[in-house]
Structure 1
Amino acid sequence: MLFNTTGLLGMLHQLRLTPTAIDVLSVMVAHQQPGGSVAMNQSEIDEILGVGQASMSRAMALLVERGIVLRSGGGRGHRYALNPAVAGYESQTELEKEMTQLLSVGGPPSIRVPGYGKRPPKPGKGGLHAVA
C-alpha cells in the first residue's frame, strides 16, 4: 500500500481530463514505484489500454500539460513520473520527508486546473427572493 498527499480522485472533474487520460493516469498510478516514478513508456501503457498511439499521445500530453505527470528525457527516451504531490510513498514518514525536501526548494510542481472556458452567468434581475 502506498501513501499519498492528495485526494486526486476528488478533483479529477476539475482537471477536465478526457476518459483516455483518466485511464492512462489509472495505469500509471497502479504501476508507479514509491515516489511516483513509472517505469513504463507510452506503448507499454497502450498495450494495457489498447487505445492506439494517437489517443495515447494526446492523453499523455494532457496529463503533462496539467502537471499531473512529469516528463523528462527527449525523443523516444521519455521517462514519466507522477507529480510528487499525487505520487505514492512507502510510508507516511517517506511522504513527509519528500514533501519537506520539496518545500525547502519551493514545493512540488504545480497541478494546473483549467479556468472557465466562458464567463460565469450574470446575476438575474431583482436579486434574491425568499421562498415561503
Structure 2
Amino acid sequence: MSLINTTGLFGMLYQLQLTPTAIDVLSVMVKHQDAGGNVGMKQAEIDEILGVGQASMSRAMALLVDRGIVLRSGGGRGHRYALNPAIAGYESQHDLQKEMDRQLALGGPPPIMVPGYAKRPPKPGKGGLQSVA
C-alpha cells in the first residue's frame, strides 16, 4: 500500500540532528506504519530488523520521542508508538485533510522539535558574508 504524507520532513532530517541509528529506526517505522501513523511494532521487533542492540535502540527511540517525531503511549514494557500526525502516511488526500482538521481543532499536531544553534548565529554586518557585485 502506498501512503501519502503532509510534509517534506525527510528533506530536513539533517536539521533534526538525529543519529544514524535514529534515522534507521525512523525508516523502519515509516515502512511499517499503518495509515495514520500507528506502528504496530515493539522496540525489540525493530531491533530484530536493524540488529543494533537494546541500548542503542532505546537511545535512538528516546531521541525520536524527544524530537516529537515519534509519539509514545502506554507504560513499562507496553509502549505503543506512532509517527507524529504531521508526518504520518494516509491512504488518501481526504484522510490526510480530515486528520489535519482534527489536529487543528485540538490545537495543532504535536510540535517537531528542531534543535537550536549550539552558539548564536553571527550578527548582521559583523564580518561574515559580503555581497559581490
Q: TM-score range by the shorter chain?
A: over 0.9
CA distance in 2, matches of 1:30, 1:6: 16
Q: How many aligned residue pairs are there?
A: 130
Does residue 88 of structure 2 align to residue 82 of structure 1?
Answer: no
Equivalent residue, structure 1, for 2:18: 17
Equivalent residue, structure 2, for 1:50: 51
Task: Give the 3 Å change call, closer, same or farther, for CA 80–120 of structure 1 in structure 2.
Answer: same
Q: Structure 1, residues 47-93: CA drift from partner, whole Å, max 9, x if none?
A: 00000000000000000000000000000000000000000001010
With normalisation by structure 2, the TM-score equals: 0.93
Equivalent residue, structure 2, for 1:60: 61
Secondary structure of the residue aligned to 1:26 is: helix
CA distance in 2, matches of 1:3, 1:41: 24
TM superposition shift of 1:108: 0.5
Equivalent residue, structure 2, for 1:100: 101
Equivalent residue, structure 2, for 1:6: 7
Larger radius of gyration: 1
Equivalent residue, structure 1, for 2:114: 113
What is the letter of the counterpart of residue 48 of structure 1? Answer: I
CA distance in 1, matches of 2:103, 2:88: 13
Secondary structure of the residue aligned to 1:81 is: strand
With normalisation by structure 1, the TM-score equals: 0.93
CA distance in 1, matches of 2:33, 2:11: 20
RMSD: 1.5
TM superposition shift of 1:129: 6.2
CA distance in 2, matches of 1:117, 1:53: 29
What is the letter of the counterpart of residue 49 of structure 2? Answer: I
TM superposition shift of 1:120: 2.2
TM superposition shift of 1:128: 3.7
CA distance in 1, matches of 2:83, 2:132: 48
Percent identity for Structure 1 against Structure 2:
75
Gaps of 5+ in 2: none
CA distance in 1, matches of 2:99, 2:122: 42
